Amino acid sequence: GTGSNILSALQDLFWLLKSKVEKQLQIISVLQWVLTFLIMGIACTLILMYILCTDCWAIAALYLAWLVFDWNTPKKGGRRSQWVRNWAIWRYFRDYFPIRLVKTHNLLTTRNYIFGYHPHGIMGLGAFCNFSTEATGVGQKFPGIRPYLATLAGNFRMPILRDYLMSGGICPVNRDSIDYILSKNGSGNAIVIVVGGAAESLNCTPGKNSVTLKNRKGFVKLALRHGADLVPVYSFGENEVYKQVIFEEGSWGRWVQKKFQKHIGFAPCIFHGRGLFSSNTWGLLPYSKPITTVVGEPITIPKIDNPSQKDVDFYHSMYVDSLIKLFDKYKSKFGLPETEVLEVN
């Protein structure tokens, strides 16, 4: 009996230690992504400039020569790596929140798609985990579909960062890149566009479900030009993982944010999550709140080389209605009351 009790205690201790190790690995995996998002581009640029001033300048010179040669690769579908997409670190990243991907309909491999992802949140954590890694099984759930998460083109001007992003299947959110993927890369491609962009990130806060969409019609026009089906995607919980200081319209803070958004492409947000060692302190780590990304029913889009504004408005209206229906259908399943309404701005 004593031996059995000792063995049982050792097993309990083992599982406790294993649980603590896994939690630490989850924190490390999320922290590396947050630092990548915030400072990797600038840090790599400064390091490269420093190396140019040392005895190892030839290494930096060779990389810069390669950069010039490889400059247009992001515009041509990038250079994805299944090995990187399947890194174990992304599974720890997924389990930290946790993040889930919900499939509602099959997607034909004979078609191309534009996924509209909502809401942006602070960092688009659900978009990254679901579509730039295989942690939630996007390849198994949508066999034959290649997702490309579109992000700011400026990120691909940063050394090292550009290669890291491309390895996950991330591409610039500009017309050249999207045109190439949807017209010269065969079928079965899915461009994931966070439609609300920087403007939407300025209004994200826990407990609020709102999207910036009324005047965002460029993605619909692209879909019509290429005959790519539109797919609404909503991430429940994306706004819950960070707390943000919201500046009112007309305030100096909002004026500064809009100036940055207009001239640089992103809007600086004042936000915080939890601390590295305690959830009761402020820090850069997001709160471990569940994020559930639901991929809705595709809207069949005809190919129109020069779509009229009437065409764009018609399919944009269909898309908005489809997104609202998706939200209403699944909101109660993921912790929202039946009375919750999706605010479309």
| Phi, then psi, of 234 in degrees rounded to 5 | -125, 135
Ranges assigned E (strand) in the chain: 99-103, 113-118, 146-151, 170-172, 189-194, 210-211, 229-236, 243-244, 271-274, 282-283, 291-295, 343-344
**What is the model's pLDDT at position 17?**
66
Rounded Cα gap, residues 116 and 194, in angstroms: 6
Q: At what angle do helices 2-35 and 88-96 cross, to 10 degrees?
A: 100
**What is the model's pLDDT at position 105?**
96
Tokens matching residue 64? 């810069």
* Under-50 pLDDT residues of the chain: none
**What is the model's pLDDT at position 15?**
59
Whether the ω angle into residue 232 lies within 30 degrees of 0, i.e. cis, is no
**What is the model's pLDDT at position 246?**
83
**What is the model's pLDDT at position 2?**
61
**What is the model's pLDDT at position 160?**
93
Give 3-state DSSP helix, strand, coil % of the chain, rounded to 5: 50, 15, 35
Give which of 237, 257, 274 is closest to 23, Cα–Cα.
274
Rounded Cα gap, residues 40 and 26, in angstroms: 20
**What is the model's pLDDT at position 11?**
58
pLDDT digits (tens, 9 = 90+) for 266-319: 777 888 999 988 888 899 999 999 999 999 999 999 999 999 999 999 999 999
Q: What is the number of other CB atoms lying within 10 angstroms of the CB of residue 39?
A: 12
Burial of 115 (0-12, 13-18, 19+ CB in 10 A): buried
